[in-house]
Amino acid sequence: MGAISLRQVEKTYGHGPKAVKVIHGVNAEIPDGEFIVIVGPSGCGKSTLLRMVAGLEEITGGEIDIGGRVVNKLEPAERDIAMVFQNYALYPHMSVYDNMAYGLKIQKVPKAEIEVRVQKAAKILELGALLDRTPRQLSGGQRQRVAMGRAIVRQPQVFLFDEPLSNLDAKLRAQTRLEIQKLHRELGVTSLFVTHDQVEAMTLGQRLIVMNGGRIEQIGTPEAVYGQPATTFVASFIGSPPMNLLTGSADGSRFTVGGQVLPLPSAAPRGGALTLGVRPEHASLHADGAWPLQVEMLEMLGAERLVYGRLGDAAFTLRIDGTLVPPRPGDTVRLHVPREHMHWYDGSTGRRVEG
């Protein structure tokens, strides 16, 4: 029903010599009922893509299909979608009830049906006691729930979320994340959620679309995107602290980084210019470790500790158990990295090379 298909979707702003292409032929198939998150840094084209699906931006190339209908030329109201915005976009002078009911009134849905839908949404979102209030009398989190309620009552084929949690404080954001997950479990509506926050993306998405510069870098489950990043961009964007990326040159089972030779447990996938990626939690302190790390700084985070240092002239971060006796700045410690946790990338394209 609510599957979304993006086929060679392009967007160019402006015309003639002032034209700027910001989306470069994006392809994605989103099955009915999936919760998918578009994630990437500011300016990568996430909102533009979402707004094109919503019908708020013209599509300048390719096709967008929702529920088996090409929607390129359809008005937002004809697309059977509902959008939740960052700034809530509530009517300030209307009650919570009327805010949720308004869209249905415009669609001439019978009053009794509106009552049923609003009460149902209010129950799901625990807004029952707030229906007579105006948005001014609500907290940020409650306002965002009303904005979601307004989307739910429309019973659309697709929910579109444009950074809906950005205006909430950290605690409320975590709580609302769980509410959105619960909502999706209950309603099962196809959802496209835009965020620049990788934690939000990892925790909410059944799959992630990682974007960079108007292009898709990788589409995959959180496990796949974290476990096998397709490019150095994804490797450094998903995960905090980011994956260590060592630029160097491989020759058999030796990898040279800025004059420092790092022995490998087995031969690199090929010789020449490569980037070797290692997540901070996948290197460990080990007396017989093959790599010498000069420790520069430490950060205690409670359950874990971050150790910042250098392998030759390359920066390297290590995540260790907070209960371990830590090394001290100035120490040189030995690192062990298992073969299965080494990620290889082409030195010039940044694309993954299978080892």
**Site for ligand ADP contains 13 (CB under 6 A):** yes
Q: How far is it, in rounded angstroms, from Cα 58 to Cα 49?
A: 10
Q: Which of 317, 321, 277 is nearest to 297 (CA)?
A: 317
Span interacting with ligand ADP, options 39-47, 105-113, 141-149, 216-224, rule CB under 6 A:
39-47
Q: How far is it, in rounded angstroms, from Cα 2 to Cα 30?
A: 9
Q: Which amino acid is at 159?
A: F
Give me the least distance between CB of 245 and ligand ADP, in Å please: 23
How many other C-beta atoms lie within 10 A of the C-beta of residue 287?
Answer: 7
**Site for ligand ADP contains 43 (CB under 6 A):** yes
Query: What would the x/- binding string for ligand ADP be over residues 48 to 87, using CB under 6 A?
Result: x---------------------------------------
Give me the least distance between CB of 248 and ligand ADP, in Å please: 32
Q: Which of 264, 161, 190, 277 is nearest to 226 (CA)?
A: 277
Token pair belonging to 166: 């950005």
**Site for ligand ADP contains 47 (CB under 6 A):** yes
**Site for ligand ADP contains 17 (CB under 6 A):** no
Cβ 253 vs Cβ 325: under 8 Å: no
Categorise residue 13: left if φ over 0, alpha if ψ from -120 to 50, beta otherwise.
beta
Closest CB to ligand ADP among 20 and 129?
A: 20
Closest CB to ligand ADP among 214 and 327?
A: 214
Give me the least distance between CB of 55 and ligand ADP, in Å please: 15
Span interacting with ligand ADP, options 42-50, 230-238, 267-275, 341-349, rule CB under 6 A:
42-50
Cβ 315 vs Cβ 308: under 8 Å: yes
- Contact residues for ligand ADP, defined by CB under 6 A: 13, 20, 22, 40, 42-48
